[in-house]
Structure 1
């Protein structure tokens, strides 16, 4: 039973400073007991001021009390230790980050559970009991443990802030309402908090709505970025595919062009070789004929000379080309058969220059007729070496011709103008009686507007012009 009694009162044998069982217990003049080491440490910190007090009741002593070991407490503590029931406070009872520490504890401090706005101190569970015992007859204002207690006291009046002034929007004490805040709109701090908390609730809901809106925008933006990323990736893949196909197509086209060039090269070489062979044959033939003419020029038989000169074709009329080279009709015909419409000497496009005398060509579109009227005027003149009788006069000509007023008719008109400029539309014809005269060549002309409407008339004109190298 004695042991049980000791167990019930074991808190009386704990040091209020270290909260452990007393070690070398001593009792100071006010009657409270402490570990000798704990009270010495506490008073050593205050030794400079020369004022010593009890950590529990705050009683002060003018001189530092002499500490003597309390033998009875020491024996009781030893019995408690032997029972094995004493244990250190759990680890969660000590202060950690963000916790309010007990202002009475020394050494490792325990967490405070209450704060006193009168004492302006915070207490752990053990020291709170001491506080309540010391102030059992007083009504101290206790609240959940909190830091910065001084902020909850009115500095001018040293009273608890219990009232809220709506006018100045600050917490005040009851004395402030009679002085600086007299006549102001005031309520209790509880009422003020309720009102302001409602306003904060509205504000908070507004923030929550805005947060939801921003989160929705954020989600939409992320989806847009993902969509853009997918689109960009698809575009990259499409461009890769397109460029790959394009490169393959270019490679195929390059091969085709290379083959085409080689085929054209073979054809051109083959044609050139054939032309070389024909030219060599023509050169050999002309050398043979030149030798015959050289031999003929030395004969003294006039009849033989004239007969052989005619067979050689030396007095045939030559045709002059635009490139200034001249050939007889038969030689030029054979050259066209072998070379095409090219000059046998310079290989320029075959373009004839005729013996048409000087004159002019004009054209207009008469009213009410969907026709083109061409007017030719070649005045009288003297024949040149290109004409049948050089030095003799010839009779000129004035003629009109018609073409249909159509795009194709305009095209033929331009071809006829080129032929006129190359002196191919008219020639001088020798007559048996009277002066020689200017006449049309073999290029068809319509001397009335009905004739130019005949089927294939324009085709016949173009064919004749094409034979003269005009197209």
Structure 2
């Protein structure tokens, strides 16, 4: 696991690239930088009257100091690396979004872009724009990768005005050239007018958003109300059908009981009649046998007397059975 940076490690970091010193050099004020970083920083001032300054303390030197590798610092760094006391610092957050155009090696995130320099700067390299009078008239904007879009493609000048005739941004030379006689205003004035239009349009959008949000809320409430009413209807129908089913089951049970009771009563009466009929059949068969014997007897007086009695009994029995109507009990 990499060790956290220490004060000693900070002492061996380049203030320009914020990485460990590579080919360290120490300038007369005592500050140390990477050879390539300080050379790149002083590269733009290579003329006889240039004054070279330290990027940190701003101490000026003239003529330009000789840049020689600091052998002592290099040896100390090598020993500390072998001992594990020096590690390359992690890249800062935001690296790669808009990179600083001055950083050498690891590119730090730019915080501002200059429309005059057409370059983007990290916090360290932006300091001269705040500290040096030479940069006071430069225009700083949020870090952007589209700086070229703010430069006139014909004259390589900053687009500072707006031509209402041609509806395009122009530089000061364009006003004297192809846009001469056109209605031209400053970019700030035109932006003010555009802002008013944008504010008005935004206000309309906000009003539409409020109306749509109100409609959305009303629709949600309607859907919720419909869901609740549907649920209530389902519950009512379930209750009604449950009660109907219970009523049908109860009626079916009662009808079944009535049928069974009627069946029991009829079957019981029929069984009684069956027993009675069987007894009557037995008695009739006995009488039939007696009549058979009378038909074959030779004592005519006895036969006539007995037959007269039996016929009267038979006729009386048939009248009793006919009047009772037991055959209709099972119908």
Q: TM-score normalised by the shorter chain: which range applies?
A: 0.5 to 0.7
- What does residue 272 of structure 1 align with? 270
Q: Which residue of 2 aligns with 1:112?
A: 111
Aligned-residue CA RMSD in angstroms?
4.7
- Aligned-partner SS, 1:17: coil
Counterpart among 193, 197, 200 of residue 199 in structure 1 = 197
Indicate the residue corresponding to 2:16 in structure 1: 17
- Match of residue 35 from structure 1: 32
Which residue is 1:214 aligned to? 212
Q: 1: CA distance between counterparts of 2:224 and 2:259?
A: 51
Match of 1:59 among 45, 55, 59: 45
Give the 3-state SS of the residue equivalent to 1:175 in structure 2.
Answer: helix
1-structure distance, mates of 2:190, 2:233: 62
Aligned twin of 2:225: 227
TM superposition shift of 1:202: 2.5
SS at match of 2:266: helix
Tell me the distance in 2 between the aligned counterparts of 1:313 and 1:133: 153
How is 1:353-372 mapped onto 2 (pairs within 5 angstroms)?
none
Query: 1:273 Cα shift?
Result: 1.1
Q: Secondary structure at the match of 2:140?
A: strand
Q: Offset at 1:285?
A: 4.3
Q: CA shift at 1:25, angstroms?
A: 1.8
Partner of 1:162: 160
8 Å CA contact 2:96–2:109 kept in 1: the answer is no
Q: CA deviation at 1:152?
A: 0.7
Between the aligned partners of 1:178 and 1:153, the Cα distance in structure 2 is 17
Name the CA distance, whole Å, in 2 between partners of 1:282 and 1:183.
144
Rounded Cα–Cα distance in structure 1 between residues aligned with 2:111 and 2:247: 85
Normalized per residue, the structure richer in strand is: 1
1:334 and 2:331 correspond: no
Q: Deviations over 1:257-297 (max 9, x none)?
A: 55434423421321121221232233234324433543454
SS at match of 1:150: helix
Aligned partners of 1:289 and 1:185: how far apart in 2? 148
Q: Distance in 2 between matches of 1:56 and 1:110?
A: 22
Provide structure 2 residue ranges, at least 5 long, that are not aligned to the other structure: 1-13, 48-64, 74-91
More deviation, 229-238/266-275: 229-238
Q: What secondary structure sits across from 1:220 in the alignment?
A: helix
**Distance in 2 (alpha carbons) for counterparts of 1:124 and 1:97:** 10
Matching residue of 2:139: 142
2:304 is aligned to 304
Residue 282 and residue 187 in structure 1: after superposition, are their counterparts in 2 closer, same or farther (change >3 A)? farther
Mapping of 1:374-393 within 5 angstroms? none
User: Residue 189 of structure 2: SS of its match in structure 1?
Assistant: helix
Aligned equivalents of 1:284, 1:237: Cα separation in 2: 70
Whether the 8 Å CA contact 1:162–1:174 is kept in 2: the answer is yes
* Structure possessing the higher radius of gyration over alpha carbons: 1
CA contact (8 A) 1:117 1:140 kept: no
Partner of 2:4: none
SS at 1:154 equivalent: coil
Q: Is the 8 A contact 2:25 2:68 kept in 1?
A: no
Checking the alignment, whether the CA contact within 8 Å between 2:26 and 2:67 is kept in structure 1 is no
CA contact (8 A) 2:99 2:108 kept: yes
Unaligned runs of 5+ in 1: 1-14, 44-52, 75-93, 315-327, 350-471
TM-score by length of 2: 0.61
How far, CA to CA, are the matches of 2:126 and 2:214 in structure 1? 51
Distance apart, 1:149 and its partner CA: 1.3
> What's the CA shift string for 1:371-424, capped at 9, x where partnerless?
xxxxxxxxxxxxxxxxxxxxxxxxxxxxxxxxxxxxxxxxxxxxxxxxxxxxxx
Measured in 1, the distance between the counterparts of 2:252 and 2:242 equals: 15
Compared with structure 1, are the counterparts of its residues 334 and 243 closer, same or farther at alpha carbon in structure 2 (3 Å cutoff)? same
The answer to whether the 8 Å contact 2:118/2:148 transfers is yes
SS of aligned partner of 2:27: strand
Larger RCO (CA within 8 A; separation ≥ 6): 2
Could you say if the C-alpha distance between residues 169 and 293 of structure 1 is closer, same or farther in structure 2, counting changes exceeding 3 Å? farther
1:16–1:127 CA contact under 8 A, matched in 2: no
Q: What is the alpha-carbon distance in structure 2 between the residues aligned to residue 171 and residue 215 of structure 1?
A: 39
Q: SS state of the match for residue 36, structure 2? A: helix
Q: Is the 8 A contact 2:95 2:109 kept in 1?
A: no
